[in-house]
């Protein structure tokens, strides 16, 4: 199997210019071999990870006998490593290169899943294995995205990042049901299969072409890999993508964390599972289809559309019933597509740092948002239930989603006016 990078024919751009044909979907360059491999690998990696990680609390508590307080602390530390650890991706990839960083990350994750096999009888080994897996995840995702978009124009990035998101989400959707028959009855077999899967995917990564930082003998020509110039010298409208990512994930995780508590008693566990499956399928299909439209939006417009869809989704869920919960999930899916993709694109376009550093900071922002949502959401849902109306929780979250873009954009006109006055003076 050849994973050689491929490029367009030297005269292709000139030929299009002579014919006068506007660039469109038919004129888009095809995915390269490495890009196809990374997308397929992203699916397999997430499939293997989510065959195990969603069941971790059950394994730690029921099989290894850890108290729920200890389980919660272990999972919180693992989540912190997985998200906040992304900030080390930039320095690591800058020193050893993107391909080697992915290989190191997959090595850590393979070792972690392998350690779970003896760890099924040892809490210390199991916790150590989980932390190894989390450390590998912190390093892999920023390096994976950076390699995927390396050398790609700003116009091609939406397609690549949306395809990557679809691959990851497909694996997340299929992993838990695929592992359900083995997770409690034969967990050793499950962990052994996941270990082999990661080892094979890691071996495939070793065949990827080296990036600039992997080739120190190239001399000064490799230096630009450490940083870039922003895509445009003109100031881009809108707030910091880091801050917006924190607040986007903060708002979204209310849905992720608390829908089960609300939906299962009012419908059924089977219906809740169907909603999650439909959500994942819609995300996989719709994200690539909407990628170019999302990229074409201005950042302020994307915030209004994204948070607006989330607000509408929270309100519809609060209305209750099967139809309300299903429709609310679809609206939340639209909000996730717009905000998460636009935040990554905007962060890349504004920063002069290497892509791996940019994606690492975005992971840190996501971790901060998820942590804040967990802290606030638990108190808010508890207060709503104590007041006898869980629907008040969704109304409160809806209100936050409506106010967030107002808060994020309220100071922009004042800054623009100050800049205009300075230019006039």
What tokens does 176 get?
């838990």
Contact (Cβ atoms closer than 8 angstroms) between residue 331 and residue 252: no
Q: What is the pLDDT of residue 412?
A: 54
**Cα–Cα separations (whole angstroms), residue 46 to 18, 168, 200:** 44, 6, 14
**Residue 16 has what pLDDT?**
40
Task: Look at the alpha carbons of 231, 25, 39, 164 in this order and tell me if their dihedral is positive or negative.
Answer: positive
Predicted pLDDT at 112:
93
Q: Quick check: 29 and 8 in contact, CB under 8 A?
A: yes
Most distant pair of Cα atoms in the chain: their distance: 75
Which tokens belong to 320? Answer: 């209750």
pLDDT score, position 35: 87
Residue ranges in the chain modelled with pLDDT below 70: 1-28, 211-238, 411-425
> Phi/psi of residue 41, each to 5°?
-65, -35
List, for residues 235-286, the tens digit of each pLDDT value: 565 689 999 999 999 999 888 888 888 888 888 878 887 888 888 889 888 9
* Dist. CA 298–CA 295, nearest whole Å: 8
The pLDDT value recorded for residue 218 is 38
Distance separating alpha carbons of residues 100 and 122, to the nearest angstrom: 32
- Nearest partner of 71 among 137, 127, 129, 131, judged by Cα: 127
């Amino acid at each position: 199997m050849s994973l050689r990078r491929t490029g367009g024919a030297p005269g292709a751009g000139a030929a299009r210019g002579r014919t006068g044909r506007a660039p469109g979907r038919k004129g888009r360059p095809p995915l390269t071999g490495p890009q196809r491999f990374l997308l397929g690998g992203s699916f397999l990696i997430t499939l293997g990870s989510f065959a195990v990680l969603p069941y971790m609390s059950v394994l730690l508590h029921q099989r290894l006998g850890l108290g729920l307080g200890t389980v919660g602390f272990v999972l919180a530390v693992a989540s912190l490593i997985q998200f906040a650890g992304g900030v080390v991706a930039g320095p690591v990839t800058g020193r050893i290169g993107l391909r080697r960083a992915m290989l190191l990350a997959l090595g850590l994750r393979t070792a972690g899943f392998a350690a779970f096999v003896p760890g099924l009888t040892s809490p210390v080994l199991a916790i150590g294995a989980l932390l190894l897996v989390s450390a590998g995840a912190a390093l892999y995702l920023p390096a994976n995205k950076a390699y995927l978009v390396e050398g790609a124009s700003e116009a091609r990035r939406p397609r690549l990042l949306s395809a990557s998101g679809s691959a990851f989400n497909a694996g997340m959707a299929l992993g838990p049901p695929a592992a359900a028959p083995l997770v409690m009855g034969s967990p050793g077999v499950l962990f052994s299969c996941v270990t082999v899967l990661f080892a094979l995917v890691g071996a495939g990564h070793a065949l990827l072409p080296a990036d600039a930082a992997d080739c120190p003998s190239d001399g000064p020509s490799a230096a630009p890999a450490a940083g870039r110039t922003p895509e445009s010298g003109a100031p881009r409208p809108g707030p910091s993508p880091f801050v917006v990512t924190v607040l986007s994930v903060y708002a979204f995780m209310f849905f992720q964390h608390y829908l089960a508590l609300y939906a299962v008693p009012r419908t059924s566990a089977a219906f809740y599972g169907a909603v999650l499956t439909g959500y994942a399928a819609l995300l996989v299909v719709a994200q690539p289809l909407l990628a170019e439209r999302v990229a074409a939006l201005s950042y302020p417009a994307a915030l209004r559309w994204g948070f607006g869809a989330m607000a509408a989704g929270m309100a519809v869920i609060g209305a209750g019933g099967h139809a309300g919960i299903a429709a609310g999930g679809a609206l939340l899916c639209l909000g996730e597509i717009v905000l998460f993709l636009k935040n990554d694109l905007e962060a890349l376009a504004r920063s002069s740092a290497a892509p791996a550093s940019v994606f690492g900071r975005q992971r840190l922002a996501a971790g901060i948002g998820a942590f804040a949502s967990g802290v606030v959401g638990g108190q808010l849902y508890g207060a709503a239930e104590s007041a006898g109306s869980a629907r008040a929780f969704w109304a409160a979250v809806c209100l936050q989603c409506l106010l967030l873009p107002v808060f994020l954009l309220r100071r922009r006109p004042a800054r623009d006016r100050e800049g205009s006055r300075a230019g006039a003076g």
